[in-house]
Amino acid sequence: MPTTDPYTRFVRSGPGRAIATKLGLPRPSRLPRRGDRTAAVLDPVVVLGAGTGAETIAAGLLDGGADVRRRFEDLREVGSVVIVLDEIARPTDIGDIVLPLAGAMRSLAPGARIVTISRPATGGAQDPATEAARGGVEGFVRSLGHEVRRGATANGILVADGIALDAPSVTGALGFLLSARSAFVDGQFLTVSTDAGTLPADPRRPLAGRTALVTGAARGIGAAIARTLAADGAHLVLLDVTAAGTELARLANELHGVPIQLDVTAPSAPDRLLAFCRERGLHLDIVVHNAGITRDKLFANMTLDRWDPVIAVNLSSQIAINAALLGAQDVLGTDPRFVSLASTSGIAGNRGQTNYAVSKAGVISLVPALAAQLAAHGGTANAVAPGFIETEMTAKIPPLPREIARRANSLQQGGLPVDVAEAVAFLASPAAGGIQGDTLRVCGQNLVGR
């Protein structure tokens, strides 16, 4: 499948570019991804903010080899901006820190990254002015995500009160959001709720020595997840249905993984998975619930044969497999990471997808409960919610609705399966140990939902 759609390829050509400019049509920028930009951070990095938090972040970036500056003066081009807002106490504090960026917006490099670091609103634990200031940061980031151009993004990290800004998951989240691996993440927040997590000894292979189960692995997003986890050093157990056996075997051979053909909705599936792992001495450190189906129909025409399979595959199978793994300490590895695939349809809903939206909204609500269960095992549970991703499934959408869905985000293009995979790989990494029960949207800041 081409990495860009026909319209995007046309407006990036010489004649197409001229026509698009004249008519004011969208001109999606190229998004640099891991293969295009291997550097951890796009330099130079300007760190805005006063106080010990800003000094901590600047020192950490310097230790990582970044070219760190504290002001925009004398910079013709800016690669990254980190705005540290952890000490704001009233709404009027925000402007003094963020407004220096206003005059530098036109100097942002293609694919630039802007990341805020702040404390979350608590729903009333802080005084009203502090709560208002913290909540205001969210509006700033989401609006800025709509304004940046040339493939740049704006995102935020919310660090719970009492967590130091040099905690492993703060460093890990900042590294992910500043890197090319977050190309299709825009206008989003990652919440660091604990000081758990560890930074990998080899940042290029953060999953070395870990074994990952990926369901629905044979093709599409599942295959991209498998390849990305393998590139990060993980050993793989690849699961899919018997009908996908050929593709599954081919992928397992490519990645030196272990294939298992299994219908996750079968009542015996959890026990069969455990038996498979025990027979081979496998300990699952990472579980990626990617298996999913759609059976779209307007609700007025919805029937049980369309409803039940979607709930069974997308949601109920996860609950059953999770319960089995939690009860099998000889199979579940240490510090386990569970990552589930949700969807923006589960956040904002979607016409003709009531069944699918139920399943994906259920996943979003499932992960905090699972995270609480995993805490005793040192584990985490989080979700990734893709928006419009260029897959075989979205290629079957009728042309006009497909084109509208593709452009309805701040980056004016569809994402790629690898964009989802990169987010999954980060949440599965040791550095994400302080992120619990969160759902990260990978949607280019889709214009629906939050």
Q: Which positions are annotated as active-site residues?
A: 356
Are 388 and 164 in contact, with CB atoms under 8 Å apart? no
Rounded to the nearest 5°, which phi and psi values hold at 117? Answer: -125, 120
**Distance separating alpha carbons of residues 321 and 289, to the nearest angstrom:** 9
Q: List the beta bridge partners of residue 115.
A: 82, 155
Q: CA-CA distances (angstroms) from residue 204 to 39, 67, 211, 231, 233?
A: 11, 20, 17, 9, 8
Task: Classify 164 in phi/psi space as left (phi over 0), alpha (psi -120 to 50) or beta.
Answer: beta
**Distance separating alpha carbons of residues 262 and 239, to the nearest angstrom:** 7
Beta-sheet strands, E only, within 243-290: 258-261, 284-289
Residue 426, C-beta contacts closer than 8 angstroms, at least 6 positions apart: 172, 173, 176, 181, 432
**Distance separating alpha carbons of residues 137 and 84, to the nearest angstrom:** 11
Residue 117, C-beta contacts closer than 8 angstroms, at least 6 positions apart: 53, 57, 82, 83, 84, 85, 86, 156, 157, 159, 165, 170, 174
**Distance separating alpha carbons of residues 30 and 323, to the nearest angstrom:** 42
**Distance separating alpha carbons of residues 299 and 357, to the nearest angstrom:** 12
Q: CA-CA distances (angstroms) from residue 198 to 65, 166, 416?
A: 19, 11, 29
Integer distance in angstroms from the first to the last C-alpha of the chain? 30
Rounded to the nearest 5°, which phi and psi values hold at 409? Answer: -150, 165
HSE, CB side, 13 Å, CA atoms: give it for residue 155. Answer: 28
Are 420 and 412 in contact, with CB atoms under 8 Å apart? no
Handedness of CA 434, 185, 35, 424 (dihedral sign): positive
Q: List the beta bridge partners of residue 113.
A: 80, 153
